[in-house]
Each structure stands twice: as structure tokens, then as C-alpha cells.
Amino acid sequence: MGIFAKIAAGEIPSYKCAENDEFYAFLDINPLVKGHTLVIPRREVDYIFDMEDDELARFEVFAKKVAVAIKAAFPCVKVGQAVLGLEVPHAHIHLIPMQSEKDMNFANPKLSLPAEEMQAIADKIYKEFSK
């Protein structure tokens, strides 16, 4: 099993932001900004565009709900969405609360936040998602 599948299965710790039977959302460990979240399918699939239409549609609808929760927890202009997948071969959507387009630049230096702050950020998003 790959690292993200293990995260979704709870075998590797993560800062959980949202979940349902099929999908899981957790904080990016090296966020571009506070609230930078990854959304993944629980099942192992590398390339997002290999997903069947129905699954991809459900994935995006789940990501939308997570984005709404992120925006409520971390007021921003919009939540940006990006798919790279160059590092981890398990489909994932990056959701990033943006104040400007600069926040979406993956070449920016990443934040390294203390564990307590990461937990507090995840809890805030989880609370909004669960409303």
C-alpha cells in the first residue's frame, strides 16, 4: 500500500480535515499557506484522469464540500484547486485558501508549522465540514 492509502486507512498519522466512505482529506505536511489541504480517494489510483467519470464526479463534489469548510475556517478570497501528483503517485487534489494568485505558486517556500498548530488548523476545518 502507498503512503496516501495508508494515511486514509489510518495506518500512518495525518491531520484529518474531512472524510466519508470513499474519500479522505488531510493537511499537506508542508503547506504553502495555513489550511492547505489534500483530498484523496481511499482506493489506490495514481493518475486522477484514470478515474472513471462517476468516481471523479463524486471526488470533485467531496472536494467542493472540503473547500467550503476551508473557506469558513480560514477566510480567503477563494479556495484554489490544483492537481500535480509529481511527487506522490496517488491521486490528490490540493485545496489552498488564496488571498492572491501568489498563494498558488508551488515554487514558494513551504511552511513548517508546529504539530499543535497543524492539529488546531485541521480541527477547525473538520468542525466546519461536520456542520
What residues are annotated to the active site?
92
Residue 88 interacting with ligand AMP (CB under 6 A): yes
Residues 8-27: x/- map of binding to ligand AMP (CB under 6 A)? ------x-------------
Query: Which residue of 28, 35, 91, 126 would you call a contact of ligand AMP, by CB under 6 A?
Result: 28
Please state, as a whole number, how many other Cβ atoms lie within 10 Å of the Cβ of residue 60. 14
Total residues contacting ligand AMP by CB under 6 A comes to 12
53-73 and 115-129 helices, crossing angle to 10°? 110
Residues 31-70: x/- map of binding to ligand AMP (CB under 6 A)? -------x--------------------------------
Rounded to a whole number of angstroms, the minimum distance from the CB of residue 92 to ligand AMP is: 6
Cα 128 from chain centroid (whole Å): 14
Chain residues 91-110 in contact with ligand AMP, contact rule CB under 6 A: 92
Residues near 1 by beta carbon (within 8 Å), at least 6 away in sequence: 9, 11, 44
Query: Which residue of 1, 29, 57, 120 would you call a contact of ligand AMP, by CB under 6 A?
Result: 29
Residues that bind ligand AMP in the complex, under the rule CB under 6 A:
3, 14, 28-30, 38, 84-88, 92
